[in-house]
Amino acid sequence: MSGSISLGKILESRELLYTLLLISVILPIIHPLGIPIAVSARTKAVYNYIENNLKPGCHVYFEIYYEVAARGELEPNVVALTKHLFDKGCKIVYVSLASYGVVVFNLLKSTAADIFQGKEYGKDYVFLGYVAGGESAAASLAKSIKGTVSTDNYGNRLEDLPLMREVDKATDFDLVIIASSGTDTFAYYVRQWYTPYNVPLLFAALSIIAPSIEPYVGAKQAVGMLVGQRAGAEYEVLVGRLGLGMASMDAQSTSHMLVLAFIVIGNVVYWSRRLSSKKGGGK
């Protein structure tokens, strides 16, 4: 009896779980297993939407709203989407309603420098930088970008940038992409961009918040959604540029198997204790 209790105590200790989780993450990165991944219908639908609906020279608005910690989940999506859009000949206006958006955009440019190579700043893409004001700022940008901010992130006047002479308001864009680690950001754009101007929205969200914003996708208020690192890896396969997303998939698989094993063990221990306490007089 005491032996089973001590085993239970060992299995209950969070230190053991964390250590095993670390091992299950590190080992497959050092020795890749090469577990194949299939492209889900949801990711394929997003790819097809861009492939079929965006023409060369189209304009895309890209909201970058995630912190450095969330890079692993969202950056693979942002990089793969940017590559796809540039390959299609689209022009992109990046903006961030979060102050840390400036940091992650700079990191994005340095880690995916090959994508931006050959693209001219001001003509093919622009980064407006951090625009303060949350939902009010989103509403103002939808009405008029130049009426909201007069310069980009680097202090250039918007009138001097060729791309910004082509676009100013929500209806000038063919697609609006929101890559965010916060639930509210998606609601801002549904309320201030989709509902009044009917601009197509595309979401790239953390896995943790995907269930919360699923109703917007279900109600066709967004054309699609890329969910977390897994969707990033799938999109990397589709656009033919493997990166952080694909590198993480083996570790994701092994760590999930470990969590599943612990859920099973936890249930076995729980039920065995419950049954043994019933046998022993309900104590």
Partner 1 sequence: MIDWSVFGAWISAAMVVWIYSFAYRDNVFYKLAEHMFVGAAAGYSIALALDSLNRVMIKPAVTTPSTFWPNSWHYVIPAILGVLMFAKYSRRYYWLARYAVAVNIAVGTGLAMRTVPIANIVKQVTATIVPLWGSDPVAVLNNWLLVLITIGGLTYFLFTVFPKRAEGARPSPLYYAYRALYYIGIYGMMVGFGALFANTIMTRVGFLISIYLIYLQPQYWATIVAAILAAVAILLSLRKK
Q: What residues make contact with partner 1 under the rule CB under 8 A?
A: 14-15, 18, 21-22, 25-26, 29, 69-73, 75, 99-100, 102-103, 129-132, 134-136, 139, 149-151, 153, 155, 157, 187, 190-192, 194-196, 206-211, 215, 218-221, 227-230, 244, 247-248, 251-252, 255-256, 259
Residue with smaller CB distance to partner 1, 92 or 149? 149
Minimal distance, residue 4 CB to partner 1, in Å: 26
Residue with smaller CB distance to partner 1, 1 or 69? 69
Residue with smaller CB distance to partner 1, 50 or 104? 104
Minimal distance, residue 18 CB to partner 1, in Å: 5
Minimal distance, residue 114 CB to partner 1, in Å: 17
Q: Residues with Cβ < 8 Å from 171, sequence gap 6 or more?
A: 197, 199
Q: Residues with Cβ < 8 Å from 282, sequence gap 6 or more?
A: none
Minimal distance, residue 212 CB to partner 1, in Å: 8
Q: How many residues does the chain have?
A: 283
Q: Where are the beta strands (DSSP E) in the chain?
A: 59-65, 91-96, 125-130, 175-180, 201-205, 224-227
The strand pairing partners of 95, in sequence order, are 63
Q: In this structure, what token pair is assigned to residue 154?
A: 């680097």
Minimal distance, residue 116 CB to partner 1, in Å: 19
DSSP letter at 194 equals I
Residue with smaller CB distance to partner 1, 128 or 175? 128
The 10 Å Cβ neighbour count of residue 228 is: 22
- Give dist(CA 61, CA 242) in Å, integer: 24
Cα–Cα separations (whole angstroms), residue 46 to 39, 84, 241, 243: 11, 11, 17, 19
Taken in order 212, 133, 204, 49, the sign of the CA dihedral is positive
Residue with smaller CB distance to partner 1, 207 or 272? 207
Residue with smaller CB distance to partner 1, 5 or 22? 22
> Nearest 5°: CA angle at 139, between 136 and 142?
150
Query: Within 13 A of 28's CA, how many CA atoms are on the CB side?
Result: 21
Residue with smaller CB distance to partner 1, 27 or 58? 27
Minimal distance, residue 280 CB to partner 1, in Å: 31
Q: Residues with Cβ < 8 Å from 93, sequence gap 6 or more?
A: 59, 60, 61, 62, 125, 126, 128, 145, 163, 164, 167, 173
Minimal distance, residue 233 CB to partner 1, in Å: 10
